[in-house]
Structure 1
């Protein structure tokens, strides 16, 4: 498949999952609002969610692909399967032990994570139990991430992109059931967090089935630190940290927000919206780039590698910039029209919108980091991306903490400072990654590339003006279309259409080029049932 086709397969399947995830979040907000139970839920999901994004959505798979693909090319499929089996057995044992340890220590950890409720033993007790129920999801994602890497190496992206939908299906089910079988908020919270773990077993099971259909036989065995495992870990562990810098930043922000009642819920709701373009575009392109770049670098085709990276960045920005613009220009319109209902008020929407706007201008950097990291992974260089990621995390901690406490002391919302620091650190990470690639002549922006990006920016600016006008007349549009939910769909759809027209009018893309990038590459084949 071409890069664009791979990306579209990934993004389309991910979109289905994100739509269900959005429905789940609407149900959560209507049930819990931005109160103690929502804070408890976001805390319970914080660690599993971070590892899901690190592993199941690509960073671990990106680091594992070059190792597995290299063994497969040099020694054959059987040796590659042994390497994957050894790595899976060792990592599963380590992560399972880590999960059990966290479950045992959670009564002492929770007051640190949710410090705003230290005086409320009932809330802390519920949060501890909910987190313990969700924790086994990490072990499931360890298996799922490695299986996704095996499938992606073979050019099979559909199944690994499709299985996350079960997280949303499983967690949405108890929320809907609560309307049929009345239950207290803490009871519903227990149902939802238990469903997180159930979804993990389903995802791992389906990916195992997909790998077996591919003809690859993996076996769980007594964990051993073999040479192959050491080599895989040496690349995978720092690679996962590097690819997940934004997730670590998000974790730091949530820990700081634990001292402010409702703040963690605000970050969760804003996070879910700005993560949408990252999940749809950044992760999809990142996964599609790694096999292509690995092939180019192994073959010594540096020009092909540069062209692939040019295409990847252009494609990423063409899809990401309009989403970032919408989140920046009309955040309240989007949140109030879609989320405000039940226990979630317009005041909650206004606070969340202010935070979302500060995350929005960092969205292009979040996606660019996903695109600029694969060239390092493809050359089996995960040390420097890890160093850059750690630098970005330190930046977030220092700047975010300072802004959080300073804004709070001034009577303003400290969460805004966390959002600002997260976006700034993302751009710092991009500057370090891109600067290294250009300095080493691995990639250098061509004049054609710069021209394309400028035209994409111009098309985004035109769309921004139209969305700004719509946002000013938000209430009028709500009355015109009889419902604010309909109004936001019409406005976003019209904005997307206008952006598409501008892309063609400014010749950022042409119809011929669209057909070309979607054309299957020579020799590509798609097995039945997997693509």
Structure 2
């Protein structure tokens, strides 16, 4: 498949998952508001999710794919299956052991992460148990990340992009249960949702295992051994985890700081879910699709092919990401209040969340660009420098975020805003370091066509921003005009998307012929054996 086709396949399926995920978050907010149970949920899901992103969407997958793909090309399918089995057995054993240790240590970890509630024994007990129930999800997703890498290397993207829907389906059921069981308390609901997280991990791993077998790859889980291929994978994955997971490490810092402010964890959770949407839909999809293509270009010495792949990747990323970033920055309250405010979630909660979301909004393009600019380093087996850049980014977030959090709190401004500002600043610095290194070493030189295309995408985004700004000013009137705020936000966002798309063609940022060309299947790109797409 072409890069665009791979990206669209993954993004379309991921969109379905994210829509269900947003539905789940609406149910969570309506059930828990921004109270202690919502803070406990955000904490329970944060730890396994942090490592899930590092493994399933980050460095482990990106480090494993070039090694697996290289063995597959040089030694054949059977040798590649042995390499994958060795990596799977070792990583599963390590992560399972880590999960057990974390569960044992949870009574000491949770009070540190939820210091605002540490004197409430009931909240602490529920939060500890909920996190222990959710933690095994990490072990399941370790298996899923490797299986996804096998499928993607084989040219099959649909299943790995589609299985995350299981998380949202499984967690929705216990959230809907109080509708039929009115006596079900908030703590009981929280524990049921947390257990459902692990159940969904088992479902996802099982489906991907089935998909790999359909592809014709036979994997085995055995006693872990530190073989040469495992050492090579770890050598790439460990520093790569710091590079690919800079955003997630930044999130941990934010979580620790907000633990001292009741309700702040919930604000951060809701804002995080919305600004991570374009990252999951576009950045991750393009990042995963880029790795096999860039690896092939690097191995074949095809510098021109690598340049074009990266040009296309960045152009696609920005074309899909900038309108989302504009909407999050220009009309955050419109989006939050019209969709989330109901039940225990109030207008005041929406206003606080919207202010934080706006500060994340201008960092969204950087979050996505980092996902696109990191694969060229991985394709050349270079994970050291992205690690250094990521550590620099984390240090900036820690220092600037903590400083702004305490300073804002001291002067009567919401400290969470400082954390969002620091996260966006550090993301742009990380992008500048990655971008500058690639250009300096002539690993990538932006072409005149690339610069022209990006300028036109920016112009189209500016027109859409003007439309959304006007809509935001007249939000109350639009809600009355269209009978409901939910209908109003759908119409406004739909109109923005239509105007943006029209401007892309009007400004010739995209032409019908070019769109047809990038969607055309590449000769020889199809891999036989799976039929999953």
TM over 0.5: yes
Alignment partners' CA distance in 1, 2:216 and 2:264: 48
Deviation per CA, 1:271-325, whole angstroms, max 9, x where unpaired? Answer: 0000010000000000111100000010000111011100100010001000000
Q: Is the 8 A contact 1:241 1:389 kept in 2?
A: yes
Q: Which residues in structure 2 correspond to 1:125-524 (within 5 Å)? A: 125-182=125-182, 183-524=184-525
Alignment partners' CA distance in 1, 2:362 and 2:221: 44
Gaps of 5+ in 2: none
Deviation per CA, 1:237-284, whole angstroms, max 9, x where unpaired? Answer: 222221121111112111111110000100000000000100000000
Alignment partners' CA distance in 1, 2:407 and 2:392: 22
Size of the alignment, in residue pairs?
531
Q: Is the 8 A contact 1:58 1:145 kept in 2?
A: no
Alignment partners' CA distance in 2, 1:58 and 1:16: 21
SS at 1:341's partner residue?
coil
> What is the TM-score when the length of structure 2 is the normalising length?
0.98
Residue 524 of structure 1 deviates from its aligned partner by 3.7
Alignment partner, residue 530 of structure 1 = 532
Alignment partners' CA distance in 1, 2:521 and 2:238: 34
Residue 58 of structure 1 deviates from its aligned partner by 4.2
Residue 118 of structure 2 corresponds to residue 111 of structure 1 = no
Residue 186 of structure 1 deviates from its aligned partner by 0.2
Note closer, same or farther for the CA distance 1:90–1:522 as it changes in structure 2 (3 Å cut): same
Alignment partner, residue 97 of structure 2 = 97
Residue 142 of structure 1 deviates from its aligned partner by 0.6
Alignment partners' CA distance in 2, 1:302 and 1:123: 57
Alignment partners' CA distance in 1, 2:81 and 2:389: 32
Residue 490 of structure 1 deviates from its aligned partner by 0.1
Alignment partners' CA distance in 2, 1:244 and 1:324: 21
Alignment partners' CA distance in 1, 2:118 and 2:325: 37
Alignment partners' CA distance in 1, 2:229 and 2:530: 32
SS at 1:470's partner residue?
helix
Q: Which stretch shows the higher mean deviation, 57-66 or 503-512?
A: 57-66
How large is the Cα RMSD of the aligned pairs? Answer: 0.9
Deviation per CA, 1:426-465, whole angstroms, max 9, x where unpaired? Answer: 0011011111100110001111111111110010001000
Alignment partners' CA distance in 1, 2:440 and 2:530: 44
Gaps of 5+ in 1: none
Alignment partners' CA distance in 2, 1:384 and 1:338: 41
Residue 529 of structure 1 deviates from its aligned partner by 4.3
Deviation per CA, 1:357-413, whole angstroms, max 9, x where unpaired? Answer: 000000000000000000001111111111111111111001000000000011110
> What is the TM-score when the length of structure 1 is the normalising length?
0.99
Alignment partners' CA distance in 2, 1:25 and 1:227: 43
